[in-house]
Amino acid sequence: MDAEPGMTTHDPKAPKASPSPATGASSAPGPGVAPQEAVPAGKSGAPASPVGSLGERLAHAREVIQVEARAISNLEGLLDESFSRAIDLLLACEGVVVVTGMGKAGLIAQKVSATLASTGTPSIFLHPAEALHGDLGRIRGRDLVLALSNSGETVEIKHLVPAVRKIGARLVAITGKPLSTLGRLADVVLDIGPIDEACPLGLAPTASTSALLALGDALAMVVSRERRFSREEYALYHPAGALGRKLMHVGEVMRQGRELPLCASGTPLLEVLRVMSDTPGRPGAALIVAADGRLAGIFTDGDFRRHFKESGPMDHGDPIDPFMTKNPKCVLPEDLVQSVERLMREHRIDQMPVIDANRRPVGLVDVQDLLDTRV
């Protein structure tokens, strides 16, 4: 059968051709990282067979980690007054911090921008290529641009920087080449120094991106500290997930208002049961309030079952006081949800009164409310 256009025929009896040597860039591998031999590839481009033992693979992995660790460690010796000037510019910025970078540096820039935003410094990421096609309008003269580029000569960055200068925004550069186009046009240059990549070919950004990230994080954390960014603000910006849950306060999840079942001391048992049943959310408990407005006790479904089991049927006309739990464990609205959950688990209770500084009931925490915060 004739081959279709663009296809070659294959004779199964013909001898297999030897794989040709790999071609490509001739750059030397990064120091400390052994060069990688060319591996015959199958139809998917994957190695035809394993080429390294377990020991060799782990040794190579350790070399990569060591190279990247050295790149980050070397930053300590490069920190100088330029870092302090960059902090001053960030703190003085009246607009937003626009973080930009291309390729792998761009991915790092996105993370740095996210860290700034979540720790008290308004920030957005701007793709340099998109900026040159209209998104440059996101930048205003009151903003600060933080540009990341190891070489400082990335084409898109070189075209972006002069436009940033025309707009009037301040420019901080993180680069390994202070005398590059980016470095020369920046207000402040943060030098990551010459870096040898951990890539066996010496090409893929590895150690350099680790250094960019570490220095970006250093900027964000020093600025956050000087802004006196609080745990409460952090919780405000992290309402979901494990981080937000750790910093959530009882006042944010407690039942209050119409959902808070309150009964006066001396209220008949039957009336208390009715309040528990009719309160929205049916909390399974009622808070008993003394004449002075302070919490006298709590009565729960569990109390009702326990008294019935121990003493038999109760007179529904009796006052609630003998049946309630006096001096129950209580929490404050400002207590952390995480701590309250631990307390309820340790004492095996499903409801806890929330009181103010004068022991007046202001809310009720139900174990179901805490479970709902995990969603």
Structure tokens that stand for 222 in this block: 């020093």
**What pLDDT, in 10s, does the model give residues 186-214?**
999 999 999 999 999 999 999 999 999 99
pLDDT higher than threshold 60 for residue 1: no
Q: Return d(Cα 151, Cα 160) in angstroms, integer.
A: 15
pLDDT higher than threshold 70 for residue 11: no
Q: Return d(Cα 199, Cα 204) in angstroms, integer.
A: 6
**What pLDDT, in 10s, does the model give residues 89-133?**
999 999 999 999 999 999 999 999 999 999 999 999 999 999 999
What is the CA angle 129-186-114, rounded to 5? Answer: 55
Q: Which strand ranges, in their side-by-side order, compose the sheet holding 262-264?
A: 262-264, 285-289, 295-300, 325-326
pLDDT higher than threshold 90 for residue 308: no
Q: How far is CA 331 from CA 28, 348, 365, in A?
A: 64, 15, 9
**What pLDDT, in 10s, does the model give residues 210-267?**
999 999 999 999 999 999 998 778 877 877 766 777 778 899 889 999 999 999 999 9
Mean pLDDT throughout 65-71?
Answer: 97
337 or 46, which is more confident:
337
- Taking the domains of the chain in order of start, what are their residue ranges? 75-229, 250-372
Q: Return d(Cα 185, Cα 181) in angstroms, integer.
A: 6
pLDDT higher than threshold 80 for residue 46: no
Q: What is the pTM of this model?
A: 0.68
Mean pLDDT throughout 63-85?
Answer: 97
Among the listed residues 343, 334, 340, the one whose alpha carbon sits nearest the alpha carbon of residue 362: 334
Please check whether residue 214 is in contact with residue 72, taking contact to mean a CB–CB distance below 8 angstroms. Answer: yes
Asked whether this chain's domains 75-229 and 250-372 adopt the same fold, the reply is no
CATH class for the domain made up of 75-229: alpha beta
What average pLDDT does the chain have?
Answer: 87
Q: Does domain 250-372 have CATH number 3.30.1330.60?
A: no
How confident is the model at residue 24, as a pLDDT?
Answer: 38
How confident is the model at residue 45, as a pLDDT?
Answer: 56
